[in-house]
């Protein structure tokens, strides 16, 4: 039987104690959930490596998109990663994901661009995706303004950010735009099937993210039933041929685990180049917990080194 890593188990107890008496995520309004998410960000970001940062904006379909550039000390024009944060399309920001981006930049030795795309439900699908697509296209064409070689660009994201990263990659392929050299997908949400074995095993309230939470997220993101058939929103319903190399990772105690497993099977069926890594003993969101979870440092180092290897190829 699989077992939680001891540090992971301790973190879950700590989270349960901190949230005692508060509503479940899916019982909150988006604003309440964001406030809670932001409240805990300073704690989890503490201890991240020192990396030079610069805040600015880039053009987007509805106005400027805020970004933060992380530079670990690379040459003037060097490879870069566009990082698309998770949070169920509803939560998350440059601020909440600061620690992860610092670690990726430091461990991989490349620049990282983190962006604040528009969030649901105020901005439902496809608006968050359109912001991410615009950012990827802009970096491909104008990355030199940030010291990034647009021909050596990778994409990556976790959870909803994994969904958006894959959807962006498919959109760039279909639009004949400059493709990323590699894409790192961290325990992403790729389907709207809430009755998979992993949802049944880990979708209760014991493992940080629940089935009810994911239904809440998807309902805020999508406009209606038609969007559940749109591969731009639900990538597993789309064509996965002709994509750049993908790193697909999954957490063992995650209701979304079977989303990644199904993605890997689909990639293998069409001969797409990919690497599949299962992270044992951990739950969804584990890379956010590197301050107290030693394995998460290793996970992020592996993601960073995989990206760096493909950017230098």
Instruction: Choose the catalytic residue: 5, 274, 284, 310.
Output: 284
Q: Quick one: which of 70, 181, 185, 198 has its CA closest to 136?
A: 181
Instruction: Choose the catalytic residue: 149, 254, 259, 288.
Output: 254
Question: What span, in angstroms and rounded, lies between the C-alpha atoms of 242 and 261?
Answer: 19
The length of the chain, given as a count of residues: 313
Q: Quick one: which of 91, 110, 111 has its CA closest to 159?
A: 91
Q: How many CB atoms lie within 10 A of CB 174?
A: 13
Instruction: Choose the catalytic residue: 159, 165, 198, 260.
Output: 159
Q: Is 254 a catalytic residue?
A: yes
Question: What span, in angstroms and rounded, lies between the C-alpha atoms of 181 and 86?
Answer: 21
Q: Is 220 a catalytic residue?
A: no
For the annotated catalytic residues, the residue numbers are 159, 254, 284
């Amino acid at each position: 039987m699989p077992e939680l890593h001891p540090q992971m188990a301790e973190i879950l107890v700590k989270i349960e104690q901190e949230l005692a008496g508060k509503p479940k995520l899916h019982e909150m309004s988006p604003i309440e959930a964001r406030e809670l998410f932001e409240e805990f960000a300073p704690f989890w970001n503490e201890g991240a490596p020192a990396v030079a940062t610069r805040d600015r904006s880039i053009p987007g379909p509805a106005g400027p998109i805020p970004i933060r550039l992380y530079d670990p000390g690379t040459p003037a024009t060097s490879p870069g990663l566009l990082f698309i944060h998770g949070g169920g399309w509803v939560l998350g920001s440059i601020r909440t994901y600061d620690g992860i981006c610092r670690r990726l930049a430091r461990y991989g030795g490349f620049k990282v661009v983190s962006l604040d795309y528009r969030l649901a439900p105020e901005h439902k699908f496809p608006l968050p995706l359109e912001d991410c697509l615009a950012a990827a296209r802009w970096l491909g064409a104008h990355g030199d303004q940030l010291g990034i070689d647009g021909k050596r660009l990778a994409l990556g994201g976790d959870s909803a950010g994994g969904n958006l990263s894959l959807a962006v990659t498919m959109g760039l392929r279909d639009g004949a735009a400059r493709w990323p050299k590699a894409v790192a997908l961290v325990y992403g949400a790729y389907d709207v099937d809430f009755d998979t074995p992993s949802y049944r095993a880990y979708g209760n309230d014991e493992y940080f993210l629940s089935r009810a939470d994911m239904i809440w997220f998807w309902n805020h993101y999508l406009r209606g039933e038609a969007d559940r058939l749109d591969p731009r929103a639900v990538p597993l319903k789309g064509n996965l041929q002709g994509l750049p190399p993908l790193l697909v990772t999954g957490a063992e105690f995650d209701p979304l685990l079977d989303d990644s497993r199904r993605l890997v099977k689909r990639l293998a069926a069409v001969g797409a180049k990919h690497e599949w890594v299962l992270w044992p003993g951990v739950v969804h969101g584990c890379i956010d917990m590197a301050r107290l979870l030693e394995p998460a440092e290793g996970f992020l180092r592996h993601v960073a080194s995989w990206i760096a290897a493909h950017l230098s190829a």
